[in-house]
Amino acid sequence: MRSTRMSSARRSRRGRAVLAATGLVAALALTATACGGSGGDKASDQAGAGAGAGASRAADAGGKARIPADITDKLKKHGIDVDQWQHGGWKNWDKDKWLSAAQDFVNPVIDGLWKPERMKSAQEANKTVSTKDASADQGVSDPEPRPVPAAAEKTPYHRHAAPVGKVFFDSPKGPMVCSGTVIKDVNHPGKSNLVWTAGHCVHAGGSGGWYRNIAFVPSYNDLGESASQLAHATASQVAPYGTWWADWASTSNQWIRGGSESGGAGAAYDYAVLDVKPESGSKSLEETVGAALDVDFSAPSATEIGSMGAWGYPAAPPYSGLKMFKCLDRPGRLSLSPSLPTMYRIGCTMTGGSSGGGWFRVLNGKTVLVSNTSIGPLDNTWLAGPQLGTEAEGLYQNMSRTYGGR
């Protein structure tokens, strides 16, 4: 049983963590506002108009997929009929035709698929580990953190956490949802189309393959409206900056080989990068949203970080998936195995759907992404995320060089 008393030293450490957390919130808001400049609401209006145009075009197209020649050839190579794919063949999850290898990712745009109602129906991509698994650490783990109640982000989201959004995808279980973050593209400054999320939000791991119809919606439900207020919502209400389809996705080989429903051996490498393109419009994601964050690949130890914050859209009860939340805490260490890198762990009550959401810290006065939500316990008292080191940086650099700026 935990003691209800706290030593003065512990109170002092907690006080410093609270101050650091306050600075983190301020820095994130400042980053979003500064990058957005004076465009703020105007950019949102323009994005909404673009989303509406996309919906109109989708109706004209009858919801058929636009499949480039190179993807057509790739589908044929794997015995997939292109015409059938256009008319719902993507719903066939035959394991023999479920593409799994890193180089086999395909994600043809299907106009109008992610309508507001379908987005709201998407279920959380919940990655959990049992309490037994989490406490049977053979490496170095710190005591389990106290639960930190998730706090609702201020609205409109594009003014307070502009880089954050939702990742939608289809799995054999139906429409699913995660969270993601707009990150900077080092090789295409100011014009990034890159999104950071979790590996389990794009690929099923060792027992499956790539998910389908992967799309990113920045500042989803920007005003944080309720289900009743969104009952007849338009595309511009739920997706003020439009819907961005993944042109390519990359996750770690460790996740592809060893990831599982409970994280598995791939949990410490559970991260992914998307290169996205808009359903309509020609501006980059960073230009459209007005914000993007650098990624810290130095993999600092938990003891080096004063405070860390996780942002996302929790969708499992008691949350609805409609609103953005955040948790701020001093990170600890979580080791699932001595053969795996140690993960970060913070107290947080966010549930499934927050998976893939960015973890941020302030470095040299600037907010940077340092991890993402990967796993948590069944009672939703904490979250754990991978350290981002050389493997993660290599994946990011390859995405930037190969697919960025297209």
> Read out DSSP for 36-86?
HGGGHHHHHHHHHHHHHHHHHHHHHHTT-EE--HHHHHHHHHTT--HHHHH
Tell me the two tokens of residue 392. Answer: 């993660």
| Tokens standing for residue 104 | 């086999």
251-258 average pLDDT score = 94
Q: How high is the pLDDT of residue 41?
A: 43
Per residue in 361-406, pLDDT (tens digit) is 999 889 999 999 999 998 999 999 999 999 999 999 999 999 876 6
- DSSP 8-state class, residue 119: H
Cis bond before residue 318 (omega within 30° of 0): yes
pLDDT at site 129: 59
**pLDDT score of 68:** 61
What is the Cα–Cα distance from 17 to 248, expressed in whole angstroms?
38
Q: For residue 16, is pLDDT > 50?
A: no
Q: How high is the pLDDT of residue 46?
A: 32
pLDDT given for residue 294 in this prediction = 97
For the chain, give the mean pLDDT: 82
pLDDT digit string (tens) for 51-94? 332 322 233 333 445 556 666 777 777 667 767 776 788 898 98
Closest CA to 113 of 144, 91, 128, 98: 91
pLDDT at 18 > cutoff 60: no
The residue ranges of every structural domain in the chain are 8-63+111-402
The residue type found at 237 is Q
Give me the residue label for tokens 């003065």.
8
Strands 109-110 and 263-264: unpaired
pLDDT mean over 297-321? 94
> Would the pLDDT of 243 be above 70?
yes
Whether residue 14 is predicted with pLDDT greater than 70 in this model: the reply is: no
Q: Enumerate the H helices of 224-277 as residue ranges.
A: 235-238, 253-258
Q: Are 148 and 161 in contact (CB under 8 A)?
A: no
CA distance 370 to 212: 27
| pTM for the structure as a whole | 0.84
Percent of all residues in the chain with a pLDDT value above 70, rounded to a whole number: 77
- Specify the range with the lowest mean pLDDT, choosing from 151-155, 188-192, 204-208, 267-271: 204-208
CATH number of 8-63+111-402: 2.40.10.120
205 Rama sector, left if φ>0, alpha if ψ -120 to 50, beta otherwise: left
pLDDT tops 60 at residue 343: yes
Q: How many secondary structure helices (H) and strands (E) does the chain include?
A: 11, 22
Q: What pLDDT score was predicted for residue 204?
A: 93
Mean pLDDT is lowest, of 20-34, 258-272, 274-288, for 20-34
Q: Assign 310 to helix, strand or coil.
A: strand
For residues 159-186, average pLDDT = 96
Mean pLDDT of 318-333: 96
Residue 275 has pLDDT above 90, yes or no: yes
> What residue type is assigned to position 403 of the chain?
Y
Which pLDDT score, from 0 to 100, does residue 293 have?
97
Task: Kindly report, residue by residue over 174-225, the tens digit of the pLDDT.
Answer: 999 999 999 999 999 999 999 999 999 999 998 899 999 999 999 999 999 9
Alpha helices in 250-332 (DSSP H): 253-258, 285-289
Q: How far apart are CA 131 and CA 17, in angstroms?
A: 26
